Structure 1
Amino acid sequence: MVVGKSVRSRALLGALIAVLTLSGCASGLGGGTYSRGEARRTMVVQFGTIESVRMVQLEGTKTPVGTVAGAAVGGIAGSSVGGNRGSAIGAVLGAVAGGLAGSAVEEGVTRTQGVEVTVQLESGQYLAVVQEDGGEQFRPGERVRILRDAGTTRVTR
């Protein structure tokens, strides 16, 4: 069975929309971004001085969406190869290759720039916090606030 260009085009468009939608759903990890569950919760506030700042890369998301979308497109594309038996083998190989490619695309599209901020607290203790680069330009010697919650720590001005 030969799959028409229209079906392949729609499958490719659907996969692209899924990956773009996924990248839009990535939650912010910057110092000024809060999850809905963090609203109205008490946070411990500490003060300190920035010792160093370094740019880091935050890896992208790795959900099944990219893999499934890529596998669907690859399977459809692979099914157009050969006749009967070749078509089935092509579909399987296309689905595997498409799944791997879709997963890699998803991770790459959702990867973001981050910052590692090392702070010396007033107690003398050092603390390093990695967060998404939210546009704040932290500088060594600057006084900052450290906000801590159960499992969440952020640096803000």
Structure 2
Amino acid sequence: MDLSNGKKLRAVCGALLAGLLITGCASGLGGGTYSRGEARRTMVVQFGSVESVRAVQLEGTKSPVGTVAGAAVGGIAGSSVGGGRGASIATVLGAVAGGLAGSALEEGVTREQGVEVTVRLDNGQYLAVVQEDQGENFMPGQRVRILRDGGTTRVTR
């Protein structure tokens, strides 16, 4: 099946968008979100009071999906420029530029709002935990739980 360059470009753009949407849905860095691997694991529970809360930005994902899809789109777009050797050079340049743009697009689309919660534990120790902001609205003075499993730490009510 022979597709024109316009149809190829639309097909690759659709694949790029679908990949970014799937990647964007793979979030879950909040206090109430657990991975499958965290299920049925023992966690240490500590209690304390919120000292301060500040908004932070969690960087987006940087998987090969955005880079590869962007390179494909850029390569196809570049291949339609010029003829002969010029088209080959434009294809390579389009692929490189598209890969960089696709990577930046993926990172931007999957970026999340986060929160840094500083907690004073009942033993007097201070902890700061950064997690996705899932609308928990932590307030100074509020009692919270700190959950730790050796690799992950989260703040919950």
- In structure 2, distance between residues paired with 1:4 and 1:30: 43
- In structure 2, distance between residues paired with 1:128 and 1:52: 9
Which aligned pairs between 1:61-100 and structure 2 lie closer than 5 A?
Answer: 61-100=61-100
Partner of 2:23: 22
Which aligned pairs between 1:3-42 and structure 2 lie closer than 5 A?
Answer: 4-24=5-25, 26-42=26-42
Partner of 2:149: 149
Identical residues among aligned pairs (%): 75
- In structure 2, distance between residues paired with 1:64 and 1:72: 12
TM-aligned CA deviation for residue 4 of structure 1: 2.7
**Farther-moved stretch of structure 1 (12-21 vs 64-73):** 12-21
Residue type at the aligned position of 1:137: N
TM-aligned CA deviation for residue 20 of structure 1: 1.6
* Runs of at least 5 residues in structure 2 that lack an aligned partner in the other structure: none
- In structure 2, distance between residues paired with 1:143 and 1:11: 50
- In structure 2, distance between residues paired with 1:40 and 1:8: 46
- In structure 2, distance between residues paired with 1:96 and 1:10: 19
Partner of 2:56: 56
Q: Secondary structure at the match of 1:7?
A: helix
- In structure 1, distance between residues paired with 2:134 and 2:112: 10
TM-aligned CA deviation for residue 143 of structure 1: 0.7
Q: Secondary structure at the match of 2:88?
A: helix
CA contact (8 A) 2:50 2:139 kept: yes
RMSD: 0.9
- In structure 2, distance between residues paired with 1:9 and 1:39: 41
Residue type at the aligned position of 2:127: L
TM-aligned CA deviation for residue 56 of structure 1: 0.3
* Runs of at least 5 residues in structure 1 that lack an aligned partner in the other structure: none
Partner of 1:105: 105
Task: Give every structure 1 segment of 4 or more consecutive aligned residues whose post-TM-superposition deviation is greater than 4 Å.
Answer: none
Q: Secondary structure at the match of 1:17?
A: helix
Q: Secondary structure at the match of 1:130?
A: strand
TM-aligned CA deviation for residue 155 of structure 1: 0.5
TM-score, length-scaled by structure 2 = 0.95
TM-aligned CA deviation for residue 52 of structure 1: 0.2
- In structure 1, distance between residues paired with 2:22 and 2:39: 26
> What is the aligned length?
154
